[in-house]
Amino acid sequence: MQGLYLYNTLSRKKEEFNAINPPFVGLYVCGPTVYSDVHLGNCRTFISFDLIYRYLLHLGYKVRYVRNITDAGHLEGDRDEGDDKFAKKAKLEQLEPMEIVQKYTVGFRTIMQLFNTLPPSIEPTATGHISEQIEMIKEIMANGLAYEKNGNVYFDVEKYNTSYNYGLLTNRKLEELLEGTRELSGQDEKKGRLDFALWIKAKPETLMKWPSPWGWGFPGWHIECSAMSRKYLGDTFDIHGGGMDLQATHHTNEIAQSQACYHTAPVNYWMHTNMLTVNGVRMSKSAGNGFLPLELFTGNHPLLEKGYEPMAVKFFMLQTHYRSTLDFSNEALQASEKGFARLMDAYKTLQNLKASATSDEDIAALKNKCYEAMNDDFNTSVLIAQLFDAVRIINSANDNKLNLTQADIDLLKSIYQDFVFDVLGLKEEEGNQKLQAALNQVMTMVLNLRAKAKQDKNFQLSDDIRNQLIASGFQIKDSKDGSSWTL
């Protein structure tokens, strides 16, 4: 089997994945900022990285998956301005900032569970790692690449760029970046237009603050991820991910901080997921076009025609490759709902397929194509097309239009187990599972009654049962081993 190739934002091409210390892999993903509910766009990114985590595990890697919780230091403006989002929300909801953090962290985990994603190996919080962040800032200052002004500490981007390349991740020159940034005013403490805060001085009303060598304050958002990824994954680790919107500033600054601190590139492969959009506009908290997952599950939103099960929503997301944009619409969701039902129905049919002595299909080749799709930068879109080929084969075999051996049937079951359940992390909806179990029992009972009627030569009753089942949408297959059914 070929190796795994993934698109590295750093080199702007697909590269073969080589772990630093196989079979161990360090994977860091920027987690949610927990001052409000996650919207469906955020979920898309976390579901994409869950897929990447699951596939690496499936290939046999021992992955340490770190996904942080940003619970401090997020200001409203991109340029270290505005109120602290946590403090603002705490005031609005009349709660302690840590109550806000707890409320939205719990909500986030519940949603991730409904989407059947795996918990990360470590979920560090920014507030739990203040001393590590202070240590890192001290190191950057000792290396001459940060400066203090009135209790604030800033990263000196232009000085950094004399020895390193600040625009590495976006492939842009410093001059271009400077042109796109507004001039400093006389009141600015920063030396350069691109400088960003590592430590922010507390105002009298600031609630979340910590003592530091520069006085009471709180860390900048970017230093949080550098300190936490370094602590749990080391100075250089394998994969760092997040949404594309984090590439130009957050991740660019993370690289600069780490280089300035310990002079090595922190990450070998940078991976970025594309955005979920609504009518072509990026879904975001600030744009106010963010569906909450619970609104989607219940259908309780003016733009929604009905509610959708979490697995149908997840399937909708996975049908598009993680690097393509995905536009939300009722039609697309309804099509995915039908597609997902077809995939799961075929799985039920597969359980009752009767083997033939000969085979008309190359199932091993089909499974190989599933691996090829995933090895090609986690291409779930192609993978799902292969899975629908499996659905076609299963349904045709069930209609006696082609033959499958027992080995083929077992291989098809392994395709479902490996790709549908393990890698894509799909499952039958729990409500459906219960209904399915009840239906199985009732159908076994009805078919036994029909068999008994036949045995008693009551052919009128046995035909009636059969005809009524067919009229209700069931297919009944009689063979010498008994009767089976599909819906």
Which positions lie near Zn ion, rule CB under 5 A?
30, 225
Residue 33 contact, options Zn ion, ligand AMP, none, Cβ 5-8 Å cut-off depending on partner type: ligand AMP
Name the helix (H) or strand (E) containing 296. helix 293-298
Query: Is 73 or 242 the residue whose CB approaches ligand AMP more closely?
Result: 242
Whole-number Cα distances in Å, 150 to 81, 189, 249: 15, 8, 24
Name which of 267 and 344 has its Cβ closer to ligand AMP.
267
Residue 345: contacted member of ligand AMP, Zn ion, none (CB under 5 to 8 Å, by partner type): none
Report residue 430 CA to chain centroid gap.
Answer: 21
CB of 338 to Zn ion, least distance (A): 37
- Cβ closer to ligand AMP: 73 or 192? 73
Q: How far apart are CA 273 and CA 246, in angstroms?
A: 10
> DSSP E strands: which ranges in 215-334?
217-219, 237-243, 267-273, 276-278, 281-282, 326-328
Minimum gap (Å) between residue 55 Cβ and Zn ion: 22
Q: State the binding partner of 217 from ligand AMP, Zn ion, none, CB within 5 to 8 A by kind.
A: none
Is-contact 78 249, C-beta < 8 A?
yes
Cβ distance 414 to 294 under 8 Å? no
Tell me the Ramachandran region of residue 324: left when phi exceeds 0, alpha when psi lies from -120 to 50, beta otherwise: beta
3-state secondary structure 66-126: EECEECCCCECCCCCCCCEHHHHHHHHHCCCHHHHHHHHHHHHHHHHHHCCCCCCCECCEC
Q: In this structure, are residues 295 and 307 in contact, taking their beta carbons and an 8 Å threshold? A: no
In the complex, the smallest distance separating the C-beta of residue 62 from ligand AMP, rounded to whole angstroms, is 24
Distance of alpha carbon 362 from alpha carbon 150, whole angstroms: 71
Q: Which listed option, ligand AMP, Zn ion, none, makes contact with residue 272 (CB within 5 to 8 Å by class)? A: none
Binding at 275: pick from ligand AMP, Zn ion, none (beta carbon under 5-8 Å per type) = ligand AMP
Q: With respect to Zn ion, which residue has the nearer C-beta, 104 or 371? A: 104
Q: Are 315 and 326 in contact (CB under 8 A)?
A: no
Q: How far is the CB of 247 from ligand AMP (least distance, A)?
A: 9
Q: Closest approach of Cβ 155 to ligand AMP, in Å?
A: 20
Give whichever of 160 and 316 is closer to ligand AMP, judged by the CB atom.
316
- Give the SS3 label for residue 265: coil
**What contacts 360, CB < 8 A, 6 or more positions away?**
402, 403, 404
**155: its two tokens:** 């990263």
Tell me the β-bridge partners of 476: 485
Nearer to Zn ion, 225 or 313 (CB): 225
Query: For binding to ligand AMP (CB under 6 A), which residues are involved?
Result: 30, 32-33, 41-42, 44-45, 242-243, 245-246, 273, 275-276, 282-284
Closer CB to ligand AMP, 145 or 246, in the complex: 246
Could you tell which of Zn ion, ligand AMP, none binds residue 225, using a CB distance below 5 to 8 A set by kind?
A: Zn ion
CA torsion angle 381 424 51 6 (round to 10): -40
State the minimum distance, in angstroms, from the CB of residue 286 to ligand AMP.
9
Judged by beta carbon distances under 5 to 8 A according to partner kind, the member of ligand AMP, Zn ion, none in contact with residue 426 is none
How far apart CA 133 and CA 213 sit, in angstroms, is: 12
Q: Which does 462 bind (CB under 5 to 8 A by kind): Zn ion, ligand AMP, none?
A: none
Measured in residues, the chain has a length of 487
Closest approach, Cβ 243 to ligand AMP, in A, equals 2
Residue closer to ligand AMP (CB basis): 79 or 138: 79
* Among Zn ion, ligand AMP, none, residue 266 binds (CB under 5-8 Å by kind): none
Q: For residues 308 and 296, is the Cβ–Cβ distance under 8 A?
A: yes
In the complex with Zn ion, which residue's Cβ is closer, 112 or 225? 225
Least spacing, CB of residue 198 vs Zn ion, in Å: 14
152 binds, among Zn ion, ligand AMP, none (CB under 5 to 8 A by kind): none
**Minimum Å distance from CB 33 to ligand AMP?**
4
Cα–Cα distance for residue pair 62/68, rounded to 1 Å: 19
**Pick 257 or 319: Cβ nearer Zn ion:** 257
Residue tagged 């349904």 (tokens): 395
Q: Which does 245 bind (CB under 5 to 8 A by kind): ligand AMP, Zn ion, none?
A: ligand AMP
State the nearest-atom distance from the C-beta of 292 to ligand AMP, in Å.
13
**273/484 with CB nearer ligand AMP:** 273
| Both tokens assigned to 256 | 């600069």
Report the DSSP pairing between strands 24-29 and 62-67.
parallel
Residue nearest to ligand AMP as judged by C-beta position: 243
In angstroms, give the least distance from the CB of 242 to ligand AMP.
Answer: 4
